[in-house]
């Protein structure tokens, strides 16, 4: 492969800095918990959405730069990433909707669970 | 592109030896293993989400559970240590990718050192995980469990600070002793008595008029509901046992599923880190012995590197869903 003998050190350190900054931002937000971020959007607090989006950003950098997906052939890259991109949101969607439904059953039923 | 050069003869395509996806067999299989393992972890995390959504108003607050930092006793340090652990793991990922990079350039010494740093980072991470488990299992304040299986935790009514059982429980004479094998019925074990009996906790609560309890239920502000003194006394009537620390059956921090998922998911991840360290050590010795130098390439370093980054990747998600969200 043509790229095999080049050094990618600068790219590695850049990604490390990005990952560190994102983690620091996450921890800072988790400790400060600013009041504007407590408002719910789409069933969750803004803060939680921020955490999830930042996590996906980190996952992207780890997979693309560290695991070197960006250097693989497109067919290989997407045969790895696409199944995950399809199956995981699908599973999460089903289970969270179901969990929420059971929560409502507990909350609105005529049985007391907290006594 | 270069791997799919099949212009020579049509038969060549089917006779093997070419790499249509541009990756060697070993690397491709490592990737396919990672895909299946990623789905396993997503299954666990989605199940965690399911249970959490089910008990969304009574779920424990992670900031109140993981508050320890090594050598800082009694200091409330939510998340700092786990953030440090995350850094250590990300950094060991960086040294791993540097080792792979050095391997591409056939620099044996550099690969050796970077592999060593990666192993050390992994060991620090597993050790920290064990320490977190120890604190979680040991518990901090103690609580009582009600007939309904819910947890009541004790607070100072005036300051709102948490109060440990040891700070207020008064000794009460009791006949209850731990059952031992030598007393006969050797096949039944007692499981250990709590440090304080329920009577001692109740007597201590009655003697300290400023104590109140809080329930698992979260208020609109995301804090636990604190009951008044009268309500506290009434709820405490329902107490059936004292709970100290967390295990797979009881959990002083609140919902027991929280402890179950914590042990299961961080345990499964910790086992992956441990396996990764073992693999890294094997590869490390191979590098030292010059196995890959003789082979002419360092692809094995790249393969374990993929696994190691995957472990880091999973931790990024575990960190978010257990400690942040």
Q: What is the pLDDT of residue A31?
A: 87
Q: Grade residue B197 by pLDDT with cuts at 50, 70 and 90.
A: confident
Q: Are residues B214 and B286 in the same domain?
A: no
Q: In chain A, which among 52-111 make CB contacts under 8 A with chain B?
A: 52, 54-55, 58-59, 62-63, 65-68, 72-73, 75-76, 79-80, 83-84, 87-88, 91-92, 95-96, 98-100, 102-103, 106
Instruction: Tell me whether residue B273 is exposed, middle or buried, using C-beta atoms within 10 angstroms of its C-beta: 0 to 12, 13 to 18, 19 or more.
Output: buried
Q: Are residues B54 and B98 in the same domain?
A: yes
- B250 is a domain residue: no
Q: Are residues B92 and B162 in the same domain?
A: no
User: What value does the mean pLDDT take over residues B206-233?
Assistant: 90
Q: Grade residue B275 by pLDDT with cuts at 50, 70 and 90.
A: very high
Q: What is the pLDDT of residue A2?
A: 42
B172 vs B309 pLDDT, higher one? B309
Q: What is the pLDDT of residue B160?
A: 86
Q: Grade residue B178 by pLDDT with cuts at 50, 70 and 90.
A: confident
Mean pLDDT of chain B: 90
Q: What is the pLDDT of residue B187?
A: 82
- When CB atoms are compared, the residue of A2, A83, A92 closest to B35 is A83
Q: Are residues B67 and B114 in the same domain?
A: yes
Q: Is the pLDDT of residue B325 over 90?
A: no
Q: What is the DSSP code (8-state) at residue B251?
A: B
Closest CA to A57 of A100, A65, B128: A65
Long-range (24+ apart) CB contacts under 8 A made by B96-101 are B96/A66, B96/B280, B96/B305, B96/B308, B96/B309, B97/A12, B97/A65, B97/A66, B97/B305, B97/B309, B98/A9, B98/A12, B99/B301, B99/B305, B100/A68, B100/B298, B100/B301, B100/B302, B100/B305, B101/A7, B101/A8, B101/A9, B101/A12
Q: What is the pLDDT of residue B268?
A: 97
For A50, how many CA atoms within 13 A lie in the half-sphere containing its CB?
A: 19
Q: Are residues B309 and B163 in the same domain?
A: no
Q: What is the pLDDT of residue A6?
A: 66
- Given the structure tokens 């990747």, which residue do they identify? B313
User: Measured in whole angstroms, how far is the alpha carbon of residue B9 from the centre of its chain?
Assistant: 55
Count of domains for chain B: 2
User: A21: distance to nearest CA of chain B, Å?
Assistant: 11
Q: Are residues B154 and B220 in the same domain?
A: yes
Mean pLDDT of chain A: 90
Q: In this structure, are residues B81 and B65 in contact, taking their beta carbons and an 8 Å threshold? A: no
Could you tell me the two tokens for B320?
A: 């978010």
Q: Are residues B151 and B281 in the same domain?
A: no
Q: Are residues B201 and B229 in the same domain?
A: yes
- Would you tell me how many other CB atoms lie within 10 Å of the CB of residue B10? 8
Of A19-23, A42-46, B116-120, B301-305, the poorest mean pLDDT is in A42-46
- Would you tell me how many other CB atoms lie within 10 Å of the CB of residue B278? 12
- B131 is a domain residue: yes
Q: What is the pLDDT of residues A59-99, one digit of tens each?
A: 999 999 999 999 999 999 999 999 999 999 999 999 999 99
Q: What is the pLDDT of residue B1?
A: 45
Q: Is the pLDDT of residue B95 over 80?
A: yes
- B12 is a domain residue: no
Q: What is the pLDDT of residue B93?
A: 96
Could you tell me the two tokens for B125?
A: 């991470």
Q: What is the DSSP code (8-state) at residue B218?
A: E
Q: Are residues B196 and B237 in the same domain?
A: yes
Q: Are residues B274 and B299 in the same domain?
A: yes
Chain A residues with beta carbon closer than 8 angstroms to that of B312: 62, 66
- Residue A84 CA to residue B31 CA, distance in Å, equals 12
- Residue B155 CA to residue B169 CA, distance in Å, equals 13
Q: What is the pLDDT of residue A5?
A: 55
Q: In chain A, which among 6-35 make CB contacts under 8 A with chain B?
A: 6-9, 12-13, 16, 19-20, 23, 26-27, 30-31
Domain that holds residue B72: 27-139+258-324
User: What value does the mean pLDDT take over residues B290-306?
Assistant: 94
B290 in contact with chain A, both atoms CB, cutoff 8 A: no
């Amino acid at each position: 492969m043509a790229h095999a003998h080049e050094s990618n050190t600068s790219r590695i350190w850049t990604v490390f800095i990005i990952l560190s900054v994102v983690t620091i931002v996450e921890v800072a937000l988790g400790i400060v918990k600013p009041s504007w971020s407590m408002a719910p959007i789409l069933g969750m607090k803004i803060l939680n959405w921020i955490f999830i989006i930042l996590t996906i950003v980190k996952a992207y950098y780890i997979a693309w730069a560290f695991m070197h997906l960006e250097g693989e052939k497109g067919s290989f890259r997407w045969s790895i990433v696409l199944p995950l991109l399809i199956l995981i949101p699908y599973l999460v969607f089903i289970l969270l909707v179901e969990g929420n439904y059971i929560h409502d059953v507990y909350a609105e039923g005529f049985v007391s669970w907290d006594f | 592109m270069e791997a799919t050069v099949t212009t020579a003869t049509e038969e060549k395509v089917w006779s093997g030896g070419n790499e249509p996806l541009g990756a060697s067999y070993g690397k491709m299989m490592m990737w396919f293993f990672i895909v299946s393992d990623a789905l396993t972890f997503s299954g666990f995390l989605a199940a965690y989400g399911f249970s959490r959504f089910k008990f969304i108003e009574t779920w424990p607050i992670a900031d109140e559970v993981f508050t320890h930092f090594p050598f800082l006793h009694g200091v409330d340090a939510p998340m700092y240590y786990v953030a440090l652990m995350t850094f250590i793991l990300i950094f060991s990922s960086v040294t791993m990718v540097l080792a792979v990079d050095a391997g591409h350039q056939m620099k044996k010494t550099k690969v050796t050192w970077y592999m060593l740093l990666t192993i050390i980072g992994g060991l620090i991470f597993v050790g920290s995980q064990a320490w977190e488990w120890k604190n979680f299992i040991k518990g901090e304040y103690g609580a009582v469990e009600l007939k309904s299986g819910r947890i009541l935790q004790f607070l100072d009514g005036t300051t709102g600070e948490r109060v440990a059982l040891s700070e207020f429980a008064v000794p009460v004479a009791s006949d209850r002793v731990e059952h031992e094998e030598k007393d006969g019925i050797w096949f039944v074990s007692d499981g250990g008595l709590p440090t304080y009996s329920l009577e001692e906790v109740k007597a201590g609560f009655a003697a300290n008029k400023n104590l109140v309890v809080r329930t698992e239920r979260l208020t609109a502000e995301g804090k636990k509901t604190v009951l008044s003194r009268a309500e506290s006394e009434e709820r405490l009537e329902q107490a059936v046992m004292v709970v100290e620390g967390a295990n797979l059956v009881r959990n002083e921090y609140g919902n027991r599923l929280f402890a179950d998922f914590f042990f299961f998911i961080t345990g499964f991840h910790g086992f992956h880190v441990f396996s990764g360290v073992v693999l890294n050590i094997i590869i490390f010795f191979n590098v030292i012995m010059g196995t890959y130098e003789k082979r002419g390439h360092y692809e094995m370093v790249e393969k374990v590197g993929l696994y190691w980054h995957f472990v880091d990747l999973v931790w990024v998600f575990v960190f978010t869903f257990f400690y942040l969200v």
